[in-house]
Amino acid sequence: MKKNALLFLVFLISLQLFSQKENESKTKLTNFLSKSYYSINFGGVFYPFSNDNLIDGYKTETFSRNWFSGRLLLGHKLTDDVSVQFGTLRPASWFKYDNVNNIGYERSVWINAWSLSLKKDFKLHNNTSFYAEAGISNVTRFGFSINDIEIYNDAHYASLLYGFGVQHKLSDKWRLSLNGTFLPKSAKQNQPSISQVSLGFEYHLQQLDDKKATEFANNKYFFPDNILQVSYGTSAIGFGMNRFFGMSLKVGSFESFGIPVFWVGEVKANHAISVTYQKLVFRTEKIFSLDWGTSVTYFQSEFGKENVFAFSVFPVMRFYLLRKKDFDFYTNYSLIGPTYITKSDIDGIESGPKITYQDTMGFGVFFGKERKYNFELRIMHYSNGNIFTRNAGVAVPLQLTLGKTF
């Protein structure tokens, strides 16, 4: 019940973020979006795991720690100085127990925290403010086993989260911030405290005035109001594109070649078919657009040949990289699209619950008279973002997509 309630909340937030009345200009933000912002922060994370967290009879003399971490937040201003924020905090790589019991076992402990919080600003000077934050966090920990003995157990629980920081306003859009975030120790869950100190920024969306919005709406640049797409992918061409953008492609002596902007998944789809509909919500003058979309995807797993369906609602960010006389070339990216998937564990792998997320990214073109046609290359991923302890995830291979705009 708890996991369904959390994902239903995210589903409602997604619908609010990307819904819009038909008669509103697509060059003007919705009232909700005009009061929204996103925040990206990087810094050090501190979590004092030790041998005390392991069961009796197991220990190590050395540990591997990577302090670098990030926190991503989506925020909405309720008033001028009170905001609600939803986001995630996690280290860049996991804490490792080196050479457990001096017999060569190396095991990692993963942690991830999704949060929902309130933030209150207190003005210190004209453009400088202090803030305090408090809320709840969904903490997920992946422990480890050795020879089928559970040495450090998995955990999934709700925790308090609080923080504070200083922000400096550079403009109406940009704010720089120094942040401190803290999750207390849980003796019940055998989990040490989690602390993060980070530097980052907030970007606040700004509403256009009516004159500028009309000017953008009537310019020459193409933005499709609606797109209907059919996609097909097969594992026969491999998962090289998925692994490249997940920074896990093996090339020569490189074990992790690529760019870390996407995910792969332990479950592999043998082939997949998707039908997708997208509708324009917002557009800028030339480069950026925001759509909401719905999709139905069928895939068959690679090893067990299990048949699975996924039903999704999602946002799509599209960036136009090149505009020419005969075509427009773009890249798109979609994250945390609430999804119902018809099987929770696939090919004997704990791939996650039936309520999960869809992520996609791709490159494509609009072409033909009045840009009526669309071709796109797309990769896809299903997982729950480490909200729950079962999160092996599903990788869908590169899909060839044909679309029609209207």
Distance CA 393, CA 345 (A): 10
Structure token pair of residue 208: 């256009």
Q: Residue range 122-144: average pLDDT? A: 94
Cβ-contact 179, 165 below 8 angstroms: yes
pLDDT for 72-105, tens place per residue?
999 999 999 999 999 999 888 788 998 888 877 7
CA-nearest of 230, 152, 147, 145 to 189 is 152
Amino acid 24: pLDDT: 46
CA-nearest of 250, 233, 258 to 395 is 233
Cβ-contact 76, 99 below 8 angstroms: no
Amino acid 261: pLDDT: 79
Distance CA 298, CA 378 (A): 15
Q: Mind listing the domains of the chain with CATH numbers? A: 36-204 (2.40.160.20), 216-405 (2.40.160.20)
Cβ-contact 262, 397 below 8 angstroms: no
pLDDT for 256-303, tens place per residue?
788 777 888 889 999 999 999 999 988 888 999 999 999 999 999 998
Which is more confidently placed, 357 or 254? Answer: 357
Structure token pair of residue 198: 């980070």
Three-state helix/strand/coil letters over 74-111: EEEECCCCEEEEEEEEEECCCEEEEEECCCCEEEEEEE
Q: pTM of the entire structure?
A: 0.76
Distance CA 171, CA 398 (A): 41
Distance CA 318, CA 293 (A): 12
Average pLDDT in the chain: 88
Q: Is the dihedral of CA 220, 223, 226, 232 positive or negative?
A: positive
Mean pLDDT lowest for which of 36-40, 117-121, 381-385?
381-385
Distance CA 195, CA 180 (A): 7
Contacts of residue 263, defined as CB under 8 A and 6 or more positions apart, other chains included, come to 246, 359, 381, 383, 393, 395
For residue 245, the SS3 value is: helix
Structure token pair of residue 189: 């869950």
Q: Residue range 200-219: average pLDDT? A: 86
Distance CA 388, CA 392 (A): 10
Amino acid 255: pLDDT: 67
In degrees, rounded to 5, the angle at the alpha carbon of residue 271 between the alpha carbons of residues 267 and 272 is 95
Structure token pair of residue 362: 């791709």
Cβ-contact 191, 139 below 8 angstroms: yes
Contacts of residue 378, defined as CB under 8 A and 6 or more positions apart, other chains included, come to 231, 233, 360, 361, 362, 364, 398, 399, 401
State what percent of residues in the chain have pLDDT above 90.
62
Amino acid 32: pLDDT: 85
Structure token pair of residue 160: 């308090």
In degrees, rounded to 5, the angle at the alpha carbon of residue 121 between the alpha carbons of residues 116 and 123 is 170
- Report the amino acid identity of residue 180: G
Structure token pair of residue 154: 């998995």
How sure is the predictor about 204, in pLDDT bands with cuts at 50, 70 and 90?
very high
Q: What are phi and psi of 50, to 5 degrees?
A: -155, 180
Q: Residue range 212-216: average pLDDT? A: 83
For residue 239, the SS3 value is: coil
How sure is the predictor about 14, in pLDDT bands with cuts at 50, 70 and 90?
low
Write down how long the chain is: 406
DSSP string, 121-159: EEE-SSSEEEEEEEEEEEEEEE-EEETTEEEE--EEEEE
